[in-house]
Chains A and B, each alone.
Chain A
């Protein structure tokens, strides 16, 4: 039947079309590739190069002096290096706990909990800072109590930690929930049935299984924690040499028309971002094994 239906003039040596169905014309291919390179170039590469160019514009000596020679800048680096790890550690403990109960158990309100974990991502950083001022500031709900007992939260490092932890709250939990779900509870159940205690199971089975997920969440959380600006801006009071973190110091130097100093410090933060990306790609390679590309997507 099918052969009869062919038209008479159908060439006997007809070849299937060489062009594969999913392949774009070379002009389209070239145009879109060029557009992508242009977008990434203008939007990302040019700013990246310019940070280092501006920072090093007066030579390496001046650059180093801008970073290390200024006591307030030194203090900001130290402060960020203290505040960020504390906030990350807090969110790490929470992330593991939240992932454990969400991925391993079913309970009423589970979906709500998952949604609430994402809440801080949709809150403006400025508002995140403001809520802690309302609670712990001089006129805040707990302000008087704190003053009477001699604690200072706002305009002090504890406030910086709280604001930073709020803003970076979802990172670790979000990363670990799918990882833990994908692994499944079989190994843990086996460990339990063989007599392992809860903590033995956690340290020997669960944690080794999720270690790459933990690392992934921690580095993303840390990048955001060290770079946080809006929330920290509001709670810090921006006291030079006391509550200025690195990003706040960058802003202050810029406002003081100390552009080289500002860019020198910004270059350190940029380097940190690049290291974060590098580690991130490394973990993705490691955990994904071979990159899974569906057939026929090559051109």
Chain B
């Protein structure tokens, strides 16, 4: 196909050349500059910067909250995707469309709204704070807003897989004497696992880098509710560029590992999820 296409269809070198040029100028060179800057630190300097007590606390909050939020998203996403594919109920189309709102809503707006909803006199906070559930300016608040921003990922990865399932497989399971729960646990759930894992990874990756929504609700207390991106900004505002860059390199490395993992997962689920 390649040889034929290149002779018949025009624009191969132009489009490839421009794509590579634009990609390099906007993404690759800037990211390279980040690593270059970090390389100007010696290893012990680098380590001393990225492994301070405050930085460790920030990583713990970032990854802990992201892990919690992505796990919650898997559970919520599975229920919502199942309901949207299998059942009929009023306003289903509206609900289906609203699932994507976290993708479209600016993160700053999400942070602003969640912060005001969960303070003690907010709409939700007035019920939750008396019960001892502090949804604003706490770690719980961070998880809450990360659940919001990552919500569509699992739903949207699971939905197409559920839609493509054959009714025959389930009928066969029932005919062979499986209860409905057994059918779900042993026949349906295994086919959903790749999609669930991909959704989890996407939600987690998004949560690790999230900034806009978290700054509003977390309170940004060092050692308590400060996430790694907030720490980078704090270092930048002190004009400590090298320190900021070092922490950024840590985050970038984690992101790239995650990206590679997601790619492998997608290939794996294409082979297994069908």
Contact = CB atoms under 8 A, between A and B. Distances in A.
Contacts of B14: 97
B229 interface: yes
B259 A21 contact: no
Interface in A132-187: 132-135, 137, 139-141, 162, 165-166, 169, 185
A212 interface: no
B106 A40 contact: no
B147 to A, nearest CB: 7
Interface residues of A, number: 111
A227 B105 contact: yes
B174 A21 contact: yes
Contact of B99 (A33, A40, A105, A228): A40
Chain A, interface SS category: helix
B171 A22 contact: yes
B154 to A, nearest CB: 12
Given A36-B80, A44-B98, A230-B211, A247 B87 contact: no
A15 interface: no
B15 A226 contact: no
B83 interface: yes
Given A97-B18, A100-B11, A251-B215, A165 B26 contact: yes
Contact of B79 (A35, A93, A189): A35
Q: How large is the interface on B (under 10, 10 to 19, 20 to 34, 35 or more residues)?
A: 35 or more
Interface in B141-174: 147-148, 151, 163-167, 170-171, 173-174
Contacts of B9: 104-105, 185, 188-189, 192
B195 interface: no
Nearest to B96: A281
Contacts of B197: none
Interface of B: 1-2, 5-6, 8-12, 14-16, 18-20, 22-23, 26-31, 33-34, 36-37, 76, 79-80, 82-89, 93, 95, 97-110, 112-117, 123-124, 147-148, 151, 163-167, 170-171, 173-175, 180, 183, 205, 208-212, 215-216, 228-229, 232-233, 236, 241, 244-245, 248, 251-252, 255-256, 258-259, 262-263
Interface of A: 20-22, 24-25, 28-29, 32-33, 35-37, 39-40, 42-48, 50-51, 54, 90, 93-94, 96-98, 100-102, 104-107, 113, 115-127, 130-135, 137, 139-141, 162, 165-166, 169, 185, 188-189, 192-193, 197-198, 201-202, 220, 223-224, 226-230, 233-234, 246-248, 250-251, 254, 259, 262-263, 266, 269-270, 273-274, 276-278, 280-281, 292-299
